Structure 1
Amino acid sequence: MFSMFKSSKSAMSATKEFKERLSLEERKQQSTNILTKYPTSVPVFIDSSGMHKMIDKPKFVIPQGFTIGQLMMSIRTRMKMNSATALFVFIDNQLIPVTTVISAIYDSYKDNDGYLYVCCSEENTFG
């Protein structure tokens, strides 16, 4: 469906910690509450453990019409990233094209707890 590349980052420690801290039922309840309260949005968990700086609040509620590029801008803004740092977004260890709509990704890659888990990586592009 999409042209994707494998991520070199396989460890998702923030995701693992989140899943260990809350039971599957608790995570399902959270995602169900989000989907009920915001029916045109999806629950997203951002794992920034592969980055220099961790994101302060990893749970996002993203409108279904957002693209991966718009999600990346939201992450960059929340993390106060400078323009010399490239941001890469992986879902299920695959690099997702920036034009892909969140609803399509959510339908294909959501976890059985109802969250979409997104892993972020960064690279300094100018040294």
Structure 2
Amino acid sequence: MNLIKLTVLTACFCLILGCSSDSNNEPDIQIEELTHVAHEVLQFEFIPDTGNNTRLLRYQIKFSNPNNVAVNGYYRVTLNTDGLIATTFTNVNGQCGNIAANSDCITTFEAEDSLELANVNSITLVGVEYVIVSE
């Protein structure tokens, strides 16, 4: 009787361990590469003297997420201020830090400063970029 049990157990053991998994039956998981978030400058205005002893900088930028998933990220705006190039960053908790799938987000900036702070003749927009951190 023990010999029969041993034979049956050995056969079952060989069948269980001997079956190989067929990886062709497993579904292929496609990882979709994210498309860059596009941007459109809706408004950019620099007024060197508003008439109130101040200067004004304002801009409005629309970011468009063409992906089928929401994205988290931040944007960079590069400005040329009288020949000095500087880039400002936001963070993922700031405006447009999360953009829903196939959606847009508009960020707005407006700053009015006293002319006594510094003499600034021109500010021009050099570039805008949205950096995806995660989906």
**Shared fold, TM over 0.5:** no
More strand per residue:
2
Instruction: Say which structure is richer in helix.
Output: 1
**TM-score when scaled to structure 1?**
0.30
Q: TM (normalized to structure 2)?
A: 0.29
Q: Which has the higher contact order (CA 8 A, sep 6+)?
A: 1
